[in-house]
Amino acid sequence: MLRATHVLGILVITFLISAFSLANDKNDAAQQLLAKSFQQADLWTNSPVRLTANVTVPIKGKAEASLKYEVSWAGPDKWRAEWSGAGYSQVIVVRDGMRYTYRNLNETPIVILNFEEALGALSGFDPAGPYSPPLRITGVRPSTTSKKIDGIEVRCVHPEQSSASFCIDPVSFLAIRNSGDGATFNYGDYGTLGQSKYPQSIRITISDSEKEIPQLVTEGKVSVERVAAFPANIFLPGANAHPESFPSCADLEKNVVPPSVDNLNIHPHYPDEARRRAETGTVRLHLKLNSEGKLAASSIARGATPELDKAALEMVSKWTYTPYIRCGKGVETEMLYLIRYSLENW
């Protein structure tokens, strides 16, 4: 006959095993939900494809700005992405293991960074696609929550140690709302291209807290189409384009390491004068890392106050970073980074 203590021990062990199994089941379910959503939004395995977007940016007190975005996709090793309009021009050409970038301005507007992030989030920033750096989902322990968005019951997946969130219709596996870097991406009006489904409408809003009313910053109409072939000359880099290594390899998704900030334990400084004046807000920084992970440039993409913006720039200059590693080689990359200044949590 088992003693009571032995029975209790067995019950505790059984409970722990059951709880562990349940947690694993939930993790697996979250991973599968993400994988199915990413897979059906992946346009980049069925080339050639053209993606076109007409993007509008509301400007307070002025007429809205209009931008055009076009991706000509011949494959992971050969593609072109171009932005034009509102006084801005950007062309990126990838071919023969190189990436060639031309911009008429030194800084990429935040609305462009946000829109590309909204597109990249649909397929989990698949490294074979035009949006990088990739998001590492496998190996993390995501949590899930349920909510209703625009009348649709969704499951929202929150990868561990990430600010990203993916809200997915668990019936159709369509992304309804994703978020990251303080921006929220709302998707709708889905169309079909072969086995892929892609939103034809994207709305991007920003808010600094859950209590703040989201502010519309970008809205885009997207179309995708299969094409027979592209003219060869569109993949020729311009004379003023900046060249850099952009390697590709077998099992690409297993041979990439996203960039990261290494010493987040160094807390950003809260300026005394700003604290005395009770200044708060979110500073959105645009960071450029070189192939060695050195901070090549930093700027304010969307600021809070002059004092807080200055403190944030000083802080990121003191941090160290791990570069974006692709097929064993570091590549240059850009990233948005947020620093939130709050008197309650500082």
Q: Are 185 and 117 in contact (CB under 8 A)?
A: yes
Contacts of 277 (CB under 8 A, 6+ apart): none
pLDDT digits (tens, 9 = 90+) for 312-342: 999 999 899 999 999 999 999 988 888 889 8
Residue 108 pLDDT grade (very low, low, confident, very high; cuts 50, 70, 90): confident
pTM of the model: 0.86
Contacts of 91 (CB under 8 A, 6+ apart): 80, 81, 82, 83, 101, 102, 238, 241
What's the pLDDT at 9? 36
Give the percent of the chain with pLDDT over 70. 86
- Is residue 104 pLDDT above 50, yes or no? yes
Q: What is the mean pLDDT of the chain?
A: 85
Q: Are 298 and 283 in contact (CB under 8 A)?
A: no
HSE-CB for 164 with a 13 A CA cutoff: 22
Segments of the chain assigned to CATH 2.50.20: 39-248
HSE-CB for 262 with a 13 A CA cutoff: 12
Buried b (16+ CB within 10 A) or exposed e, 306-341: ebbbbbbbebbeeeebebbbbbeebbbbbbbbbbbb
Residue 70 pLDDT grade (very low, low, confident, very high; cuts 50, 70, 90): very high
pLDDT digits (tens, 9 = 90+) for 139-152: 456 778 899 998 99
- Which CATH number describes the domain made up of 259-341? 3.30.2420.10
Enumerate long-range contacts of 293-296, CB under 8 Å, 24 or more apart.
Answer: 293/259, 293/320, 293/321, 293/322, 293/323, 293/330, 294/321, 295/319, 295/321, 296/332
Distance CA 319, CA 333 (A): 16
Q: Are 189 and 201 in contact (CB under 8 A)?
A: yes
For range 229-240, the mean pLDDT: 94
Distance CA 327, CA 48 (A): 24
Q: Please classify residue 255 by burial: count the beta carbons closer than 10 Å to its beta carbon, then call 0-12 exposed, 13-18 middle and 19+ buried.
A: middle
Segments of the chain assigned to CATH 3.30.2420.10: 259-341
CATH of 39-248, one of 2.60.40, 1.10.10, 1.10.3470, 2.50.20: 2.50.20
